[in-house]
Chains A and B, each alone.
Chain A
C-alpha cells in the first residue's frame, strides 16, 4: 500500500498531492508540467517534500513533522526513468548486476535468468548501452531496476522516448511484468490508452493537484484540457 500526502513548492509551481493506493499498478495520469515526475521523485527519495508524509506498506519514508527522510539508497524503491540512464561505462550484464552489488544481495542466477528471459535481453549481456536501440535500453533499465529487488517500482513514462512501433514492442513486456513479477508499480504517463492497458488504479494530476482518483474508468471521458 502506498500513501502519499505531500506539498512541495518548486519555483512558481506548487504541488499538493494526497492519495492512497492499494492497486497493483497505480497510474499517475496528467499533462506534462502537471507535477508527475516531481511526485514520483519524492516517492523515490530524490526530492524532499516541504511538508507531508509518504509511506509504503506501513513503513514511513517521509514524515516532515517527525523529521523523517529516508535517503533514496535505503528505500528499496526501483525507478525506471524515461531516458533509461544506463551506466555507459558498464556493459549490460554489469548494469543488471549493479543493484544486487550495491544492496549486497546474494547472487541469484535463477532470478537473473527469469528476468532476462521475461524481457528478452539475455543476448545483450556483453554489449555496452551505447550499442543498444532505444527499446533495448528501456528493457535493460527495467531489468536493472527489478534485479535490485525493490518493494515498489516507479516507472516514469518508460515509453515516452520511443516511437509508436517501439511502444508496441515494449508494452507486452510491461503487461507480463505486472502479471508475473508481483511488484507493485507506480506508472506515470500522459497517454490514457497506455494506462488503460496497464493500470488498476488511476490518480489524475492537474497543475499540481489531484483532481480525480479511482479505477481506470476515471480516464473516460478524457479530462478537460488543463
Chain B
C-alpha cells in the first residue's frame, strides 16, 4: 500500500512545486492589491475587487478555458510572451502554476486585506509625523502588524493551489511529469482499472500535506501574534 511509485512521486513533487511557486509569486502581488483595496479610493475599485474574486465564482473550467484563450500558444498574451520573452505557459508546469495562482488569488488576498484594514491608521499617522515616507510607513508599521493575516492568506492560497483541478487540467491538460499534479493523477487513476490503491495512496498524501499546511500556519500565526504583542 505505501510503496509510492515513481509516477506518483513525480506528481507529488510537481504539485508541491506548482503550489509553492504560485503562492510565492502571488503573495507580493496580493499584498499590493490588498493594500490598494484596504487603504485607497480610486475609480474602478469595485471592478478590480470583482475581477480578483471572479475565479472564486466562475466554474473552474471556464477560468481554465479563458487562460487557454489568453495564454495559449495562439493566445494574444501567450504568443507575445513566447515570441518576445520565450515564456511558454501552454502544457507546461508553469501554466499549471499560473492557473493555480489565479484560482488561489481571491483566497490569498482576502485575509491580507482584512488584516490591513484592521491596522490602526492612527499608528500610521504617528509614523508619518516621525518622518516615515508612505512606503516606509507600509514597510515598518502596516505590514508587520498585518503579518498574521499575510501568513493566513499564504496558507489558504497554498492549500487552494495544491488542490486545484478544473482550471489546471483545462489549461495545461494532464501530462505525467509535466502538468500532472496530485489531483489530476488521482483523477487518472480512478479512471484506470486497478488504480484504486494508488489513488488512495495519493489521497492520503493530500491529507498529510493539507494537515501539515494547517499546522504550519497555526504555529506561524501564533508566533507572529506573540512577536507583535510581546508576551
Chain A residues with a Cβ under 8 A of chain B: 44-46, 71-79, 81, 83, 85, 87-89, 91, 98-99, 102-103, 127-131, 144-145, 148
Min distance, Cβ A158 to any Cβ of chain B, angstroms: 13
Q: Are A87 and B129 in contact (CB under 8 A)?
A: no
A131 to B229, CA, bound (A): 9
Chain B contacts for A128, CB-based, 8 A: 229-230
A76 to B131, CA, bound (A): 7
Residue on A with the closest CB to B128? A72
Chain B contacts for A46, CB-based, 8 A: 125, 128-129
Q: Are A130 and B130 in contact (CB under 8 A)?
A: no
Chain A contacts for B122, CB-based, 8 A: 81, 83, 85
Q: Cβ of B16 < 8 Å from any Cβ of A?
A: no
Q: Cβ of B136 < 8 Å from any Cβ of A?
A: yes
Q: Are B136 and A88 in contact (CB under 8 A)?
A: no
Q: Are B126 and A88 in contact (CB under 8 A)?
A: no
Min distance, Cβ B40 to any Cβ of chain A, angstroms: 16
User: Given A45, A89, A130, A131, which contacts B145 in the complex, CB threshold below 8 Å?
Assistant: A89
Chain A contacts for B125, CB-based, 8 A: 46, 72, 85
0/1 per residue, B43-77, Cβ < 8 Å to A?
00000000000000000000000000000000000
Interface residues of B in 130-179 (CB under 8 A from A): 130-134, 136-137, 140-141, 144-145
Interface residues of B in 80-138 (CB under 8 A from A): 120, 122-123, 125-134, 136-137
Give the total of B residues in contact with A, Cβ under 8 Å.
Answer: 23
Chain A contacts for B222, CB-based, 8 A: none
Q: Are A79 and B126 in contact (CB under 8 A)?
A: yes
Instruction: Jot down 26 A-B pairs with beta carbons below 8 A, ordered by A.
Output: A44-B129, A45-B129, A46-B125, A71-B128, A72-B125, A73-B131, A73-B137, A77-B129, A78-B130, A79-B126, A85-B120, A87-B126, A87-B127, A88-B145, A89-B144, A89-B229, A91-B230, A99-B131, A102-B131, A102-B132, A102-B133, A102-B140, A103-B130, A103-B131, A130-B229, A145-B129
Residue on B with the closest CB to A71? B128
Q: Are A72 and B230 in contact (CB under 8 A)?
A: no
Interface residues of B in 194-231 (CB under 8 A from A): 227-230
A80 to B140, CA, bound (A): 19
Min distance, Cβ A74 to any Cβ of chain B, angstroms: 8
Min distance, Cβ B125 to any Cβ of chain A, angstroms: 5
Query: Interface on chain B toward A: helix, strand, loop, or mixed SS?
Result: helix
Min distance, Cβ B25 to any Cβ of chain A, angstroms: 27
Residue on A with the closest CB to B126? A85
Min distance, Cβ B203 to any Cβ of chain A, angstroms: 41
A74 to B132, CA, bound (A): 8
Q: Are B130 and A102 in contact (CB under 8 A)?
A: yes
Chain A contacts for B145, CB-based, 8 A: 88-89
Chain B contacts for A103, CB-based, 8 A: 130-131
Min distance, Cβ B221 to any Cβ of chain A, angstroms: 14
Q: Are A73 and B230 in contact (CB under 8 A)?
A: no
**Shortest beta-carbon contacts, A-B, top 3:** A128-B230, A99-B130, A102-B131
A103 to B229, CA, bound (A): 26
Residue on A with the closest CB to B124? A85
Residue on A with the closest CB to B129? A79
Min distance, Cβ A203 to any Cβ of chain B, angstroms: 21
